[in-house]
Structure 1
Amino acid sequence: MSDSGMKASWRKIIAPYEKSSVKRSIWQIINTLVPFFLLWYAAYWSLSISYWLTLIPCVLAAGMLVRAFIIFHDCCHGSFFPNQRVNEVVGTLIGILNFCPFYQWRYTHCVHHATSGNLDRHGVGDIWTVTVQEYLAMPRIKRLAYRLYRNPIVLFGLGPSFTFLIEYRFNRKGAKRKERLNMYFVNISIVLIIGALCWLIGWKAFLLIQGTMFLLSSIVGVWLFYVQHQFEGAYFEKGEQWNYVDAALKGSSFYRLPRILHWFTGNIGFHHIHHLSPRVPNYNLNRAHHENPLFQDVTPVTLLSSFRSLTFRIWDENRKKLMGFEYIKRFRMQQK
């Protein structure tokens, strides 16, 4: 079958992998949350010896938090369990561990899926990315804000903390009653859990343990999301030129990681397949990739090459590629 023929029949190709398994889903919850809570206790136990020793279980527990977030993510897509109500309940409960409200995040993330790579509709649930022309047309203060946003210290450090700890504590404009109530439930649950843990082990111990886990997992989570759409050969188009299949297969990376990291990250590195069909549960993504030439015909982003993404700041419509801020000066000179 030709490349165009395979792309045209992608729905038939992906359909067998869209079926979730209750048994596999339950087992994934067990092999994620049980180790997480055991590691949390190990971190508390080791704190009396040395904080440096505590870092070992904290790092591993942060990996489990990332894996738990992928379960939450699949529940938002309705792909983790066959029953939608179960997805909502499990997603809400696991979302509490990541300080993330289920219905609000589901809304913004679904918008992201529907508009990823579309330069006319970007800005909701994605990494703020503008074209060179859009940047030059901005007021000076907005240019400064964009440069600060794209600074790695803000993007991967201050940004995740602000988003998960502050932004996700408030309902978005236009949120419906069900979404608002879910936000209140998540916020109250977070306060009660934090209060109980601070009462049991002390607020200093709680901050050292949970703060370390949260900081590490949020940095890794944002980094994964960044690399999945900001990489060499990424896809961005305007209006009628934008295509859903190309946006998935070209605009979402195949992040080829060591097997153990694919496990901790819930196979989210197979992001090109996930964007083609969010209905595929994470435990089927690996098999879908290896069994179909359509999904293998992409240039992988490796762990080493992914760090080059740190130099990408802005989209050049003429070259059809992501560039660094230094390109703006060259662009201006070319326009003279």
Structure 2
Amino acid sequence: MNLLGSTKHLRKIVAPYEKSSVWRSVWQMFNTFAPLFILWYVAYLSLSVSYWLTLPLTAITAGLLVRVFIIFHDCCHGSFFANRRANEIVGTIAGILTCCPLNQWRYSHSMHHATNGNLDRRGTGDIRTLTVQEYLALPFYKRMGYRIYRNPFVLFGLGPIYIFLFEYRFNRKDAKIKERLNTYIVNAGIVAAAGLLCWAFGWQAFLLIQGPTFLISGIAGFWLFYVQHQFEHSYFEKNENWNYVDAALQGSSFYKLPKVLQWFTGNIGYHHIHHLSPRVPNYYLERTHDENEMLQSDHPITLFTSLRSFRFRIWDEHRKQLMGFGYIKRFKLEQSKGGGA
């Protein structure tokens, strides 16, 4: 089947799942926001018993915050509600809870969808990934900078803190007035919410609960985004060979998680389907997968096998796979012997 025919056929397959359901969306909001607020208060009450009791509660609260982010994510795509204004309102509220400005993130994430796996259009809304040749062409200090950036402690530890707490507080240079205003509204909402919680429960209690909740949810969110595109046989091509369908189905993973984690992550493990059609609401992703054999991945990534992604750092254009930094020496040796990669 040619690419155009394949694209039209796939569009026909996913079209029935692209319509949101008001009652499903409202129910998901209720079973996410309500337990989030209740559990946060229970975590506060547990402080008077033992902080060792509080910490596990903050971990569950963090899971619910990840689920809030999935709602935010769907609102950015306009898939959570059919009504645009409803997506804007719910998305902005979810953005306050997750420290993400709706319009700013919508722009960068739309760029990510439009350029995922395109070696000539990288740089917005993605994990920086160099090819072997690009890495070797860099001066020493930039190579070290890239190695530091790809270090798990930096990427998953410092990364969420910098991105969510600092970078998202400022508008990008070319942002239009609507995007700028939304960032200001979200920033004001974050300050107001934090101030209200500090006034009601005390700043020490706020930090003891919100600190680990934010950190755990941030690490989990970064890991999900990372493993959804940073797996061994992912997809990266030059612009002339790149196409949207292959980038979606080959360059986005099917992360097969245990059911409880699938619930907390809002089915985002079906990421290949999400990239094929961002208009499919998160609560229909599993059904879209299960009811269409053509969309069922032969090589799902499991919780255990996803740990291999920690070692993937650099893309080899000849092997068409992600490699670790240890591969660089072998590549240079093969090149010096004239064997190629």
TM class by shorter chain equals over 0.9
Q: Deviations over 1:295-323 (max 9, x none)?
A: 11441001100000000000000100000
Structure 1 regions of 5+ residues with no counterpart?
none
Q: Aligned ranges for residues 152-163 of structure 1 at < 5 Å?
A: 152-163=152-163
**Residue in 2 that maps onto 1:75:** 75
Give the structure 2 partner of residue 43 of structure 1. 43
Tell me, in whole angstroms, the C-alpha distance in 2 between the residues paired with 1:158 and 1:93: 25
C-alpha contact 1:249 1:298 (8 A) present in aligned 2: no
Asked if the contact 1:6–1:294 (Cα under 8 Å) also holds between the matched residues in 2, the reply is: no
Q: Does 1:252 align with 2:252?
A: yes
| Partner SS state of residue 239, structure 1 | coil
Contact 1:255-1:300 at 8 Å conserved across structures: yes
**For each residue in 1:183-237, what CA deviation from the matched residue of structure 2 results, as whole angstroms up to 9, or x when unmatched?**
1111111111111211222211111100110000000000000000001211111
Match of 2:339 in 1: none
Supply the distance in 2 between the matched residues of 1:320 and 1:214 (Cα, whole angstroms). 36
User: SS in structure 2 opposite 1:233?
Assistant: coil
Confirm or deny: 8 A CA contact 1:17 1:280 kept in the other structure.
yes
Q: How does 1:265-304 map to 2 (within 5 A)?
A: 265-304=265-304
Contact 1:7 1:294 in 2 (8 A): no
Give the conservation status (yes or no) of the 8 Å contact 1:22–1:81. Answer: yes
Q: 1:87 aligned to 2:100?
A: no
**Where does residue 213 of structure 2 map in the other structure?**
213
**Quick check: 1:330 aligned with 2:299?**
no
| Separation in 2, partners of 1:10, 1:206 | 48
Report the 3-state secondary structure (helix = DSSP H, G, I; strand = E; otherwise coil) of the residue aligned with 1:172: coil
2: CA distance between counterparts of 1:106 and 1:225? 15
- Determine if the alignment matches structure 1 residue 189 to structure 2 residue 182: no
Tell me which residue corresponds to 1:316. Answer: 316
User: Normalised by the size of structure 2, how large is the TM-score?
Assistant: 0.96
User: Structure 2: 5+ residue runs without aligned partners?
Assistant: 337-341
- The aligned amino acid for 2:271 is H
CA gap 1:189/1:3 in 2 versus in 1, 3 angstroms? closer
Q: Could you say which residue in structure 1 is the equivalent of 2:165?
A: 165
Q: Secondary structure at the match of 2:315?
A: strand
Partner Cα distance (1:73, 1:146) in 2: 28
Q: Which amino acid aligns with 1:200?
A: A
Q: Matches of 1:109 and 1:168 in 2, distance apart?
A: 13
Distance 2:232 2:25 in 1: 34
Which stretch has the larger CA shift, 62-71 or 232-241?
Answer: 232-241
Output the CA distance in 1 between the equivalents of 2:177 and 2:6: 42
- C-alpha contact (below 8 Å) 1:118/1:242 kept by paired residues: yes
Between 1:3-12 and 1:225-234, the stretch displaced more is: 3-12
CA distance in 2, matches of 1:294, 1:208: 47
Partners in 1 of 2:303 and 2:84 — Cα distance?
35
Number of paired residues? 336
Give me the whole-angstrom Cα distance separating, in 1, the residues matched to 2:35 and 2:237: 43
Contact map agreement 2:254 2:297 (CA 8 A) in 1? no
Following the alignment from structure 1 to structure 2, what is the Cα–Cα distance between the partners of residues 3 and 181? 41
CA contact (8 A) 1:250 1:298 kept: no
Residue aligning to 1:61: 61
Question: Helix, strand or coil for the counterpart of 1:263?
Answer: helix
Percent of pairs with identical residues: 68
For 2:57, give the aligned amino acid. P
d(CA) in 2 for partners of 1:303 and 1:24? Answer: 27
Aligned-partner SS, 2:130: coil
2:4 matches 1:10: no
Deviation at 1:7, TM superposition (A): 5.2
Q: Distance in 2 between the 1:314 and 1:124 partners?
A: 18
How far apart, CA to CA, are the structure 2 residues paired with 1:296 and 1:186?
A: 38
Residue aligning to 2:134: 134
Contact 1:254/1:298 (<8 A) preserved:
no
Partners of 2:270 and 2:179 in 1: CA distance: 29
Runs of 4+ in 1 over 3 A off after TM superposition: 1-8
The aligned counterpart of 1:199 is: 199
What amino acid is aligned across from residue 286 of structure 1 in structure 2? E
Q: Is the 8 A contact 1:3 1:294 kept in 2?
A: no
SS at structure 1 position matched to 2:251: coil
CA distance in 1, matches of 2:297, 2:56: 38
The residue number in structure 1 matching 2:28 is 28
